[in-house]
Amino acid sequence: MCSIFGIFGLQPGDDPQALRRQALEQSQRQRHRGPDWSGVYLDERTILVHERLAIVDPAGGSQPLLSEDGELALAVNGEIYNHRELKAELKQPYAFQTGSDCEVINALYRQDTPASFLNRLNGIFAFALWDKASGRAIIARDPIGVVPLYWGHDKQGRLCVASEMKSLADTCADVAQFPPGHWYDTATGQLNKYYERPWRDYDAVQGVQVSPQELREAFEAAVHRQLMTDVPYGVLLSGGLDSSLVAAVAARYARHRIEDGDRSEAWWPRLHSFAIGLKGSPDLAAAQIAADMLGTVHHGFEYTFEEGLDALPEVIRHIETYDVTTIRASTPMFLLARRIKAMGVKMVLSGEGSDEIFGGYLYFHKAPNAREFHEELVRKLDALNNYDCLRANKSMMAWGVEPRVPFLDREFLDVAMRMDAQHKMVRKGDPGPQRMEKGVLREAFDGYLPEQILWRQKEQFSDGVGYGWIDGLKAHADAQVSDRELAAADKRFPVNSPQTKEAYYYRSLFEQFYPTPAAAETVPGGKSIACSSPAAIAWDASFAAMADPSGRAVTGVHEQALAG
């Protein structure tokens, strides 16, 4: 994974070399994402800059990727997991110039429409493709928005794109997030949605069953695909269900090299796992149990509250949000990424997305029926790019460590989301797997993990690293923000006014780096907690009055789940 920066629509009166220097300076702001090499493409109408983190074909594969005739220039941030299959299915010859997994996008563009070939890509990506001959650029982002992408227009009206907002915020007054699952065509000026799945509609999945074996095999295949790498990698292991399942499956494939069809021994055959928390945190203890059972080379790191507090401004600068939940969880992840980078690891697998697919948040206990449960899952998936995906990607990439998320693998999503949500709902008093959230997932992997891990109660990451983390942040914010300041929050921050002192404190730090209204509007409004959705409030009106995003604050649910 890397970073991309592009300027489209240069005019005859523009100074290309001056704009090239400007583009390099703006791209440099996100070089933490790609510290291994920089590449520039320039012609009379377009500039593309690429900052590379070399994961596949590290000796070659530098970008922008050019076609043999030089007419196509492609800058990609991401990974295409099914690139070998796509190459084998090409209907017309294409002279590949590198071993990069992403170059297949150029080949597909030559023979198909963007809407068609984008729906064949299984990967995480944001890219800008320039067709010099036609004077056309195609800009696209992966279906869920695992990889970030921003766009806007500079004062001269030129279209600019970048992997992170920090490269555009001071030059584009209209900077905004590029929407996941969409592509933009500069030739028509149209933004098009390409990712539409039947399972989004509950009527399409009602009555559908997915066996535990099919679910397990689909996830195993997803993890196997995402082990595609030519550099040292590891797994994030909090000791919860999701990260432990990722680690367990990865451990089964770690000894062989995925890129040559598992025929040769992996270059780094020992699987390393990583965890972080305050001293005595629940996650550190649970992660060690899981690691001992799986036989990973485990690294459990402790951080102090003061170290986390010191990192907050830099965390907010990197993750580009003032969302309370995201900042709480991003800070330990940011510190962990720094440790991982120091050990020479460049890619990690992580467990994001499982809760949104299987209803793992504790408020899903309150869902009244399968239809509303399913509709809330779809809403959560649609919002992931603003929360967990943003946190995982930007926290890790702040130190040049690429996170991959097998639960959000396109093919696995199609299996897991076409299951009728009635099989995912918690049934109180049920002696079987549905007595707890994500029961169908736990059942599918029976025997993979120790019982105390397989059936561990849900913890938010920011809770699991140690309850003192959240309590300390709230106390610190209370000392920094006065009652009078909070009362006038809507005047200082008219866009998404903060409702708590902790939210006000984070918003103040965000404003130091991103002071424009457009930057503030890139962050979703309203309460930043899972329970604040209209559906959740309808399920239990008490959620409407909650201001704290911690899972512990879901009144009654956490305790009932533990007891039940």
Q: Do β-strands 136-141 and 182-185 pair in parallel, antiparallel, or remain unpaired?
A: antiparallel
Is 276 annotated in a binding site? The answer is: yes
Residue 428 burial (10 A CB sphere; 0-12, 13-18, 19+): exposed
Q: Do β-strands 150-153 and 159-162 pair in parallel, antiparallel, or remain unpaired?
A: antiparallel
Could you tell me where the DSSP H helices lie in 352-409? Answer: 354-358, 370-383, 388-397
Which amino acid does the sequence have at 50?
H
Q: Is 2 a catalytic residue?
A: yes
Cβ neighbours of residue 515 under 8 Å, at least 6 residues apart?
none
Tokens of residue 200, six digits? 């989004």
Q: Comparing C-alpha atoms, which of 240, 168, 273, 213 is closest to residue 452?
A: 240
CB contact at 8 A, 240 and 354:
no
Strands laid side by side in the 347-349 sheet? 297-302, 272-277, 233-236, 347-349, 402-404
Cis peptide before 332 (omega within 30 of 0): no
Cβ neighbours of residue 305 under 8 Å, at least 6 residues apart?
278, 468, 469, 472
> Which residues are registered as beta bridge partners of 185?
138, 190
Is 129 annotated in a binding site? The answer is: no
- The helix/strand/coil state of 316 is helix
Strands laid side by side in the 136-141 sheet? 65-66, 72-80, 123-131, 136-141, 182-185, 190-193
Is 236 annotated in a binding site? The answer is: yes
What are the start-end ranges of the E strands in 197-240?
A: 233-236
Catalytic-role residue among 2, 172, 389, 531? 2
Tokens of residue 190, six digits? 């149209």
Alpha-carbon distance of 217 to 328, in angstroms, equals 34
Is 449 annotated in a binding site? The answer is: no
Q: What is the DSSP letter of 265?
A: B
Q: How many residues does the chain have?
A: 564
Alpha-carbon distance of 235 to 271, in angstroms, equals 8
Alpha-carbon distance of 50 to 37, in angstroms, equals 8
Is 350 annotated in a binding site? The answer is: yes
Alpha-carbon distance of 209 to 181, in angstroms, equals 27
Torsion sign over Cα 358, 364, 365, 370:
negative
| Binding-site sequence positions | 101, 236, 276, 350-351
| Binding-site sequence positions for L-glutamine | 101
> Among all residues, which ones are annotated catalytic?
2
| Binding-site sequence positions for ATP | 236, 276, 350-351
